Amino acid sequence: MRFAVYLPTYAWPELDFDQAGRTRAFAQKAERLGFDALWVCEHFLVAPGLYGAVWMSPLLCLAHAAAVTTRIRLATGVLVLPYHHPVTLAREVQSLHHLSGGRVVLGVAAGWDAREFESLGIPLAERGRRTDEILAIVRRLLTERDVTVEGRYYQVRGLTMEPLLPRMPELWVGGGAKVRTALSPDKTYMDEAVLRRIAGADGWLARAAGTDAMVKDDVAAVRAHLEKVGRDPASLTYGHLNFVHLVDARDRAAALAAQRPRFERVMGAHRSFEALQQSYLMGPTAEIVERIAGLERAGIEYVVLAPLDYDLEQLDRFAEEVVPRFARG
């Protein structure tokens, strides 16, 4: 098992320079503690029913983290591809690659928030096709000269973006089942288009908005699809992102009481607290460790732990109370 962490980039209404500046200390500490990567989120509008928070610009935050670290990998987890033009995105990924010494991990997904799509003038119904087209163009722009693509949404004619990368950055695809809500169009099962996208990636990041059973079913679905298309299922890295806040309480009720305000601040209060418990890592630390162990037994081999605020103490607790319970990958 390998562990990474989310870089807290919460754009709280009361965010000030001192709080935002804690991303520097967080990134440096995560590197010292040996975490595999810093992952960043992309949502620029509050999504009622699923998130009560928004996040700062993911690529800008990773560039900041690159400047204050030397080894830890820098991952978008995930970048919503339809929000970006493939030409400018290729340049930003290329720039981050060079500024970080080649530490970029490109995690992508199609997105789901209708209000974010509407604010950008992009029909939600186009998200999947745009994602595939953008990904194909970015892959070529980063590694080829004289690129010409006549796509449905984007046209590139004879374009070379120097300096080319020696290879495409490690590519992860996010997606999977989500607990049903009227506020999201996503399904309670793994979509076929997402499976096809995963089949062309290096890693897959199972979403946090499902249940344990959903994540385990998604692992089986991904493995079955890879076998179907002739790819060795063992050639993919199986990851899972989840939010967590460790507390001292050993009693479940006391632990939940301490965790509840932090979870509801990030997730909002549109879903019941019982619904939040279905998806996110809550309860005493021993229960959280066992839940991760259950996912490991189901095939998850990479976990991204997402703190709920800028609390640096949570990094120490992840490193001391969770990571040592598992064999390092």
DSSP structure string for 125-169 = GGHHHHHHHHHHHHHHHHH-SSEEEE-SS-EEEEE--SSPPSSPP
- What is the pLDDT, as a whole number, of residue 314? 97
How far apart CA 309 and CA 10 sit, in angstroms, is: 7
User: Residue 74 region, left (φ>0) first, then alpha (ψ -120 to 50), else beta?
Assistant: beta
Q: 16 CB contacts (<8 Å, ≥6 apart)?
A: none
Q: What is the H or E stretch that residue 171 is in?
A: strand 170-174
pLDDT of residue 178: 83
Residue with tokens 């998806």: 279
User: Rounded to an integer, what distance in angstroms lies between the CA atom of residue 75 and that of residue 27?
Assistant: 12
pLDDT in tens, the chain (329 residues): 999 999 999 999 999 999 999 999 999 999 999 999 999 999 999 886 678 899 999 999 999 999 999 999 999 999 999 999 999 999 999 999 999 999 999 999 999 999 999 999 999 999 999 999 999 999 999 999 999 999 999 999 999 999 999 999 999 999 998 887 666 666 777 889 999 999 999 999 999 989 999 999 999 999 999 999 999 999 999 999 999 999 999 999 999 999 999 999 999 878 889 989 999 999 999 999 999 999 999 999 999 999 999 999 999 999 999 999 998 76
Residues paired with residue 232 on neighbouring β-strands, in sequence order: none
Helix (H, G, I), strand (E, B) or coil at 174: strand
Burial of 304 (0-12, 13-18, 19+ CB in 10 A): buried
Give the largest CA-CA distance in the chain.
Answer: 63
Chain centre to alpha carbon of residue 258: 25
pLDDT of residue 269: 78
Q: What local confidence, expressed as pLDDT, does residue 186 receive? A: 67
Question: Residue 230 sits in which domain range?
Answer: 2-325
| Pairing verdict, β 147-150 and 155-159 | antiparallel
Kindly report the CATH number assigned to the domain that includes residue 187: 3.20.20.30
Half-sphere exposure of 32 (CA within 13 A, CB side): 10
**Into how many domains does the chain fold?**
1
CA trace torsion 185, 106, 164, 31 (10° rounding) = 160
Rg (CA), the chain: 19
